[in-house]
Amino acid sequence: MFSWSTIVENLPYLLQATRFTLLVSGLGMGLGLVMGIVLCVARLSPIRWISRIAALYVSFFRGVPLLVQLLLAYYFLPSVGIDIPPLWAAVCSIGLCAAAYIAEILRGALIAVPHGQAEAAAALGMHPFTIWKRILIPQALKISMPSLVNELIMLVKVSSLVSAVGIVELTRMSQSISAATFRPLEIYIAAAAIYLVINLALAGLGQALEKRLDY
């Protein structure tokens, strides 16, 4: 009853679409990291209204389901005359949402760096920029590494949602194939297996990275 041949025949198509899953989640992570750092700095800013805006951003993007955010971007961008390919709109949506989570991860990590170290550095006359570069960021990065890898794994999983706005990545491709072959069980299990392999690999990579950063 379980048709292995369906999986074997369609595996090349699934793997081809997997590239877009990796592309969307990878670019989303990149954008999320950049925006997340900016947001985190804004959140910790002593100027009240800047930190308020950053907090509002984090609360909105963490409070609204990503699928709703994706649909919002999908309808919103054309309605204000911004005409960018759907793939980029999806990457931006995922990145904007990831930024909110990453900002909180980084904030938690920065708070976890003992306060005395930054004070000691300031007492030694280090420039604030040097303090960030030499003391705060290296340690915060190490503390936040497991959470950041987790976030990347989350992104690979939520990238399946961009199928809803018509981007042909792994999930969308398996939808088309199962519609064409009438074998949804086999195809979706194959897709699940591919996602699982990617995420287990990322988790393993994260552990190796953690060991290297362990000094």
Q: Based on the shown chain and the rule CB under 8 A, indicate whether residue 205 belongs to the binding site for another protein.
A: no
Q: Which two tokens stand for residue 208?
A: 């190796």
Q: Based on the shown chain and the rule CB under 8 A, indicate whether residue 149 belongs to the binding site for another protein.
A: no
- The angle subtended at Cα 203 by Cα 162 and Cα 103, nearest 5°, is 60
Q: Based on the shown chain and the rule CB under 8 A, indicate whether residue 18 belongs to the binding site for another protein.
A: no
Q: Pick from 100, 121, 153, 165: which binds another protein (CB under 8 A)?
A: 153
Chain Cα centroid distance, residue 113: 24
Question: Is the CB of 135 or the CB of 194 nearer to another protein?
Answer: 194
Q: Which two tokens stand for residue 109?
A: 């990590």
Q: Based on the shown chain and the rule CB under 8 A, indicate whether residue 72 belongs to the binding site for another protein.
A: yes
Distance CA 199, CA 159 (A): 12
Q: Based on the shown chain and the rule CB under 8 A, indicate whether residue 157 belongs to the binding site for another protein.
A: yes
Q: How far is the CB of 174 from another protein (least distance, A)?
A: 7
Distance CA 18, CA 198 (A): 10
Interface pattern 46-65 for another protein (x via CB under 8 A): -------------xx-xxxx
Place of tokens 């992104």: 155
Q: Based on the shown chain and the rule CB under 8 A, indicate whether residue 192 belongs to the binding site for another protein.
A: yes
Q: Based on the shown chain and the rule CB under 8 A, indicate whether residue 84 belongs to the binding site for another protein.
A: no
Q: How far is the CB of 135 from another protein (least distance, A)?
A: 31
Distance CA 172, CA 92 (A): 19
Q: How far is the CB of 60 from another protein (least distance, A)?
A: 6
- Total site size for another protein, rule CB under 8 A: 40
Distance CA 109, CA 150 (A): 14
Q: Based on the shown chain and the rule CB under 8 A, indicate whether residue 124 belongs to the binding site for another protein.
A: no
Measure Cα distances from 76 to 67, 83, 90 in Å.
Answer: 14, 10, 12
CB 148 within 8 A of CB 202: no
- State the residues that interact with another protein by CB under 8 A: 1, 59-60, 62-69, 71-72, 75-76, 79, 153, 157-161, 163-164, 171, 174-175, 178, 183-186, 188-189, 191-192, 195-196, 199-200
